[in-house]
Chain A
Amino acid sequence: MDTLNNLFLIIAAAIRGLFADPHSVWADITMDVVAFLAVIIIIVLAALVLILLERKVAGWTSQRPGPNRLGPRGWFQTIADALKLMGKEDVTPANADRLIFKVAPMIMFSLPLMTLAVIPYGKGMSPIDLDLGIFYFLAISALSTLALLMAGWGSNNKYSLLGGMRAVAQMISYEIPLIFSLLGVVMLTESLSLTKIVEAQGVVPFIVLQPLAFVIYIIAGIAEVNRAPFDLVEADQEVVAGPFTEYTGLRWGLFFLGEYGNMTAVSALAATVFLGGWQGPAILPGWIWFWLKTGLVIFFMMWVRWTFPRMRIDHLMHFAWKWLLPLSILNILLTGLGIYIYQLIPRIGG
């Protein structure tokens, strides 16, 4: 069990051991490259599984089988889709702002690469262990607004522009409750490091201490990754595909990959901060616990997506500013009060 638990650490140590001096600069650079590749593999695998899962969940909720033709139970469907996307012609609209148009999908794809790099997948298994983990994560994930706005503006299409503008309005509004909901946890652990936050959840996960914050985080997180009922950005009934309208082939595929990567990242952060990350009964290795919890959050997001209709843009903004924001501030207040009382108890007793 111990071997299994530390499987990836052992592999990492073995790679480092190949060098004559395991602590040389070259060894460090190699390890960074390995970590980078690992994150890419995580995103691609996640997208591969999630796209199929999404379509299966959609099928189950609407009482149909979902994709079931390609491979056993349709498991190869995503691969076929990816191959199809590669075969598509890459079209750039004549009046597009070419540079912005082409850079936008790359930015979108690079964001989950950067955010997923700081998540602790197991004990000591952060690809990059940052002391400012949460701060870094939020700062990077906020940038996806930029990618969507660039795509919306660069396409020179009215639908894209409307979608891009919606992206800005929506994502910036939901960014604030998202950050505030995480502050409660930061106050409890007195640290912004994701590793420390997971270690602090050895006994009880923070969902028990911060239930309100968890609910706010999940709602704002769904809005943050533009999924129904907050998928106004790419609302196909209104703005066709929003910022993605003009994209074809692999560029569109990069957006798609980025979206699923972002969804994985937001769910992974939920699992890390609220559900105890890799902490769990020793019957399973820590990294499996981590992915189970992440998977649970992802499944919940899909379930919500296929059940609810889409909100209207003004209701969406009201919901963020009039409900989520005050509630998240209330949560900070309650947490502060709780910590104050908790610190007061030994003084009264002694």
Chain B
Amino acid sequence: MAVERTEELVLNMGPQHPSMHGVFRMVVHLEGEVVTKIDPKIGYLHRGIEKLAESRTYPQFIPYTDRLDYLSSPHNNLAYVLAVEKLMGVEIPERAEYLRVIFAELARIASHQVMIGSTALDIAGWTAWSYCFRDRERILDMYEMTAGSRLTVNNMRIGGISNDPPPGFWDALKSFLDDIPEMIEEYYGIFFGNEITMGRMKSVGILPKELAENLSITGPVIRSSGVNYDVRKADPYGIYDRFDFDVPVLHGCDSYDRTLIRLLEIKESAKIIKQAMRDIPEGPVMAKIPKVIKPPVGEVYHRVENPKGELGFYIVSDGTTKPARLHIKSPTFVNMQMLPLISLGWKIQDVIAIFATIDAVLGEVDK
């Protein structure tokens, strides 16, 4: 007699899977198509960056920060150099401050474009993906003009910024900013306004406000759960207090809002860059700092608003040229906690969409 037997299907997704961003791996327990348990596995991209910092001098470590969140490398540079500057008590020239803001916000736009594009791709919107990447290309070109590299920009220095952008940069920036309303309309038309997209993402993967706060989630993810928290406003760094911009907050708590908020943030970032372009003074871009950087003994923590959330660098200095200890508080590592908690009971397709909306960059999660 045949014995009827049912069992849970344990599916191993990743680290080599078409929809896993980077080398994330999750072990998914399935009851048919419904997810009953998720076991996220991280660490496939662990390079020991925090330990490496202890054997590098302060300026030598800047290129390593590029490799954390490689989709918005200027932000990582910025967070690190701001922390070192805070430790040393360096004042940097005005022009460098403005350039830092411009690059940081450009990186935010580029990162959000990747996020929207790859989320679209994860629910099979191929064309939306290529629109986003087509526009991101223009930002990468601007990086290339200034710093020479397209992904790992590495143009922030302790005490300023590596060099003044060439004249062509400003024209490219202006025409890019002029095209942003059109881009947003295009993304909306092909992706956000689509009935299937709404069906796939609206009220899927609810992250309640309380849970988001308890998990200390930051960035666009918590702002789409109705919490108005942005480091640029809560604890302004650099010259962010001089700009007039809004922090978009949505209350849907679902995958759709987590994606839509990125579109709204692109708009705000463009607003900031426009103001910075208007106000930027002439002058040097590097402060006078000693050749050999030896911060005083002490410890410092500095945080910035990375496109994915709150990025912080904690540095302990023992008065030598190398940090005694360096710790990175990376936003997506923290945000990743929500995945196993909020995706239970959803279909496997929804989990892919929920994972995409965290916008995880494994370089940053695994460090």
Contacts and interface: CB of A to CB of B under 8 A. Distances in A.
Contact of A237 (B11, B30, B123): B123
A121 to B, nearest CB: 33
Interface residues of B, number: 32
A307 B190 CA distance: 7
A266 to B, nearest CB: 20
Interface stretch (A24-32, A39-47, A61-69, A200-208): A61-69
A315 B124 CA distance: 15
Contact of A311 (B18, B121, B200): B200
Given A158-B11, A312-B349, A306 B127 contact: yes
Interface string A300-316: 00000011111111110
Interface string A223-254: 00000110110011110100000000000000
B129 to A, nearest CB: 8
B118 to A, nearest CB: 10
Contact of B123 (A62, A309, A313): A309
Interface size of A as a range: 20 to 34
Contacts of A306: 126-127
A97 to B, nearest CB: 18
A162 interface: yes
Interface string B1-27: 000000001010000011100000000
Interface in B127-178: 127-131, 134
Contacts of B190: 307
A58 interface: yes
A236 B18 contact: yes
Contact of A309 (B18, B130, B191, B347): B191
B130 A308 contact: no
Interface string B185-197: 0000011001011
B94 interface: no
Given A310-B196, A311-B196, A313-B33, A62 B126 contact: yes
Contacts of B348: 162, 238
Interface centre among A236, A237, A238, A308 (most CB of B within 10 A): A238
B184 interface: no
Nearest to B33: A313
B120 A158 contact: no
Contacts of A161: 9
Contacts of B131: 62-63
B199 A63 contact: no
B347 A312 contact: yes
Q: SS class of chain B's interface: helix, strand, loop or mixed?
A: helix
Contacts of B191: 309
B9 A158 contact: yes
Contacts of A309: 120, 123-125, 128, 191, 194, 196-197, 200
B194 A308 contact: yes
Interface string A134-176: 0000000000000000000000001101100000000000000
B127 A62 contact: yes
B265 interface: no
Contacts of A61: 127
B16 to A, nearest CB: 10
Contacts of B359: none
Contacts of B130: 62-64
A329 B347 CA distance: 31
B33 A237 contact: no
Contact of A229 (B19, B30, B124, B347): B124
Given A162-B33, A308-B194, A237 B126 contact: no
Contacts of A232: 349
A314 B121 CA distance: 20
Contacts of B17: 240
A237 B129 CA distance: 14
A240 to B, nearest CB: 6
A228 B33 contact: no
B18 A237 contact: yes
Contacts of A308: 125, 194, 196
Contacts of A313: 33, 347, 349
A61 B125 CA distance: 12
27 contacts: A62-B126, A62-B127, A64-B134, A162-B11, A228-B124, A229-B124, A229-B196, A231-B124, A232-B349, A235-B124, A235-B349, A237-B18, A237-B124, A237-B352, A238-B348, A238-B349, A238-B352, A306-B127, A309-B194, A311-B196, A311-B199, A312-B347, A312-B350, A313-B33, A313-B349, A314-B347, A315-B199
Given A58-B126, A309-B120, 12 more contacts: A63-B130, A63-B134, A158-B11, A228-B124, A237-B124, A237-B349, A237-B352, A240-B17, A309-B124, A309-B194, A309-B197, A312-B347
Ordered nearest first, which 6 A-B pairs have the shortest CB separation? A62-B130, A310-B124, A237-B19, A309-B125, A309-B123, A62-B127
Interface of A: 58, 61-64, 158-159, 161-162, 228-229, 231-232, 235-238, 240, 306-315
